[in-house]
Structure 1
Amino acid sequence: MGFSTEDASFTLSRMYSATDSTQAIVSCYPLIRKQFMAEDKKSNEKLIVNQKEHEWPKQFIEGAEFKSLAGSPEDCAVNITVPGGEDPEIGDTQEVDLSEHAEPKGIKRFTTRKPTTSPRQ
């Protein structure tokens, strides 16, 4: 089967169109990147660990990450402070939703402690 000049012309015009599209995408890349970076900055969640405010780059955080953020030893316990209630312990692999609409509402507060002490001490 042969390849005619008409086929070659069609192929070249398709390649040229693809190249134009690629150049258009590449030329707007800085704008897209800037938009994603702005959205990333908006996604930082605020939290308070041991009475010190922090920002976390994701909506969810695990118990082990709290310990690292607080500079606490690995064997310590982490509790989320719940106004007017018990402060449940957060396991090392347990995820907590830091968004303000998740319970308890607002900025989440956490404490780290030795595993043998009470959360309210």
Structure 2
Amino acid sequence: MTAPVPTPADSPTVGAAGPVADNSALRADIRRLGDLLGETLVRQEGPQLLGLVEQVRLLSRTDGEATAELLSDIDLDTAAKLVRAFSTYFHLANVTEQVHRGREFATRRAREGSLLAQTADQL
């Protein structure tokens, strides 16, 4: 899980509210957590599971049939561990994004004031 799947967060974009901030800190945190998850998988389950995770991740990008064939040959116990590894990664990525959004909101609120204060200023 050392290299996350690229997402729209991989580059600055324009959202409904205007330009979105640089997401390099978010990507770095997600990458760091992915690395830690990979180390944990190796410690708890062995390097074979991490190898399988990486193989599925890379194959799923390029060859859906080969991915399906690989997954069809996996025993139930290994499949459960694989699903747990991917779901843990995505959970960590989602929580990290929430933390970053919270920090951005707090920074904006400190800079611009609360919505209530902004509304009162306009009156």
TM-score, length basis structure 1:
0.27
Q: Which has the higher strand share?
A: 1
Q: Which has the larger radius of gyration?
A: 1
Taking structure 2 as the reference length, the TM-score comes to 0.27
